[in-house]
A = this chain, B = another copy of it.
């Protein structure tokens, strides 16, 4: 029987993360000591390693919970797994593109600001650097 710390070492997971997974019911202790300490088996360690693999592949903890619950009922989670990752691929692609746009905005701004001095704020302006960025007046609307 393993303690939380031992389970953490066994599954290459920070102990406080293991405790978080316990808290949300993603994993359950196999047994409990009289003093309230949780105890685990090597089966639990394998389960936790699975959780980490799935997370590394982009699954959310909620999705992983669903998957393991399905699996415990004997139902194959594979179909859901395929669907989820397809969805996640689209989602992630969109997010990456958005972040690259942001990156460009930031780099352009910083470059533009190189030629500008610092300013002292008055009632009208808070920070003329930020306010000088393109899209201030005629608001370009690039939203989701």
Residues of A within 8 A of B (CB): 12, 43, 46-47, 49-50, 52-54, 56-59, 67-68, 70-72, 74-79, 81-82, 85-86, 88-89, 92-93, 95-96, 99-100, 102-103, 105-107, 109-110, 113, 118-121, 123-124, 126-131, 133, 135-136, 139, 141
Number of copies of this chain in the oligomer?
2
- Contact present for A50 and B105 (CB under 8 Å): no
Q: A58-B102, A77-B126, A81-B130 are in contact. Are A89 and B110 (CB under 8 A)?
A: yes
Contacts of A129 in B (CB 8 A): 78, 81-82
Q: What CA separation (Å) do A128 and B136 show in the bound complex? A: 51
Contacts of A77 in B (CB 8 A): 121, 126-127
Contacts A53-B131, A79-B118, A93-B103 known; 12 new A-B pairs at CB < 8 A? A47-B126, A49-B139, A53-B136, A56-B135, A71-B127, A76-B121, A76-B127, A78-B118, A92-B99, A95-B99, A96-B96, A99-B99
